[in-house]
Amino acid sequence: MIKLSDFEAGLLPPDLKRGVLSEDGIYNLLEEYKRVEEEVKEMVGKK
């Protein structure tokens, strides 16, 4: 596991991309998947 102290100690490349995933972001993404799934099911069912 990469720790903040690893970055501070210069153990990792300075151009290494990093970020934070929030629980809200993941939840919103899953909810969007569910919404799209329902739309697709409705479209397929109407054919």
Domain count, the chain: 1
Quote the pLDDT of residue 13: 86
* C-alpha dist (Å) from residue 28 to 1, 8, 11, 23, 35: 26, 32, 34, 9, 10
**Amino acid 34: pLDDT:** 97
Assess if residue 12 is contained within a domain. Answer: no
Q: Is residue 9 part of a domain?
A: no
In a domain, 13, yes or no: no
User: What pLDDT score was predicted for residue 32?
Assistant: 96
Give residue 3's pLDDT: 80
pLDDT, tens digit, for every residue of 1-47?
778 788 788 888 888 887 776 788 889 999 999 999 999 999 998 65
d(CA 20, CA 40): 31
The model carries a pTM of 0.49
Residue 14 lies in a domain: no
What residue numbers bound the domain in which 35 lies? Answer: 19-47
In a domain, 31, yes or no: yes
Q: Is residue 10 part of a domain?
A: no
40: in domain:
yes
- pLDDT for position 47: 53
